[in-house]
Structure 1
Amino acid sequence: MATTSDIRKGMCIEFNNDTYVIVEFQHVKPGKGNAFVRTKLKSLTSGRVIDNTFQAGHKVDEVRVERRKFQYLYNDDMGYHFMNQETFEQVALREEFIENPGLMKEGLEVDILFHAEKEVPLTLEMPQYIILEVTYTEPGLRGDTATNTLKPATVETG
Structure 2
Amino acid sequence: MISLAQLKKGFVIMHNNDAYQVFECAHHKQGRGGAVLKTKLKNIKTGAVIDQTFQGNDKIEKADLSRKKVQFLYTDEDAAYFMDEQYEQFSLDKDALQDALLYLKEGQKVDAQYLDNKPIAIQLPPKVILQVKEAPPAVKGDTANNPAKTAILETGLSVQVPMFVNTGEIIRVNTETGEYVERVS
Check the 8 A contact 2:110/2:123 in 1, yes or no: yes
Cross-structure match for 1:107: 107
Structure 1 residues 147 and 119 mapped into 2: Cα distance closer, same or farther (>3 Å)?
same
Give CA deviations for 1:70-108 in whole Å, capped at 9, x if unaligned.
110111245111111x21211111101213223321122
Q: Which has the higher contact order (CA 8 A, sep 6+)?
A: 1
SS at match of 2:128: coil
Which of the residues 119, 122, 147 maps onto 1:121?
A: 119
Cross-structure match for 1:149: 147
> Amino acid of the residue matched to residue 153 of structure 1?
A
Q: Distance in 1 between matches of 2:49 and 2:140?
A: 46
Question: Does residue 90 of structure 1 match 2:89?
Answer: yes
> Amino acid of the residue matched to residue 132 of structure 1?
L
Q: Distance in 1 between matches of 2:81 and 2:125?
A: 17
Q: Distance in 1 between matches of 2:148 and 2:58?
A: 51
Check the 8 A contact 2:66/2:114 in 1, yes or no: yes
1:1-158 pair list within 5 angstroms = 6-8=1-3, 9=6, 12-16=12-16, 18-21=18-21, 39-40=37-38, 42-43=41-42, 45=44, 46=47, 48=49, 50-53=51-54, 63-84=63-84, 86-100=85-99, 101-115=101-115, 118-158=116-156
Q: Distance in 2 between matches of 1:53 and 1:156?
A: 39
Mark the structure with the bigger radius of gyration.
1
Greater percentage in strand: 2
Structure 1 residues 63 and 103 mapped into 2: Cα distance closer, same or farther (>3 Å)?
closer
SS at match of 1:52: strand
Identity %: 29
Structure 1 residues 44 and 142 mapped into 2: Cα distance closer, same or farther (>3 Å)?
farther
Check the 8 A contact 1:69/1:112 in 2, yes or no: yes
Structure 1 residues 47 and 141 mapped into 2: Cα distance closer, same or farther (>3 Å)?
farther
Q: How big is the alpha-carbon RMSD for the aligned residues of Structure 1 and Structure 2?
A: 3.5
Aligned pairs, number: 142
Structure 1 residues 67 and 12 mapped into 2: Cα distance closer, same or farther (>3 Å)?
same
Task: Structure 1: state its 5+ residue gaps.
Answer: 1-5
Structure 1 residues 24 and 121 mapped into 2: Cα distance closer, same or farther (>3 Å)?
farther
Task: Structure 2: state its 5+ residue gaps.
Answer: 157-185
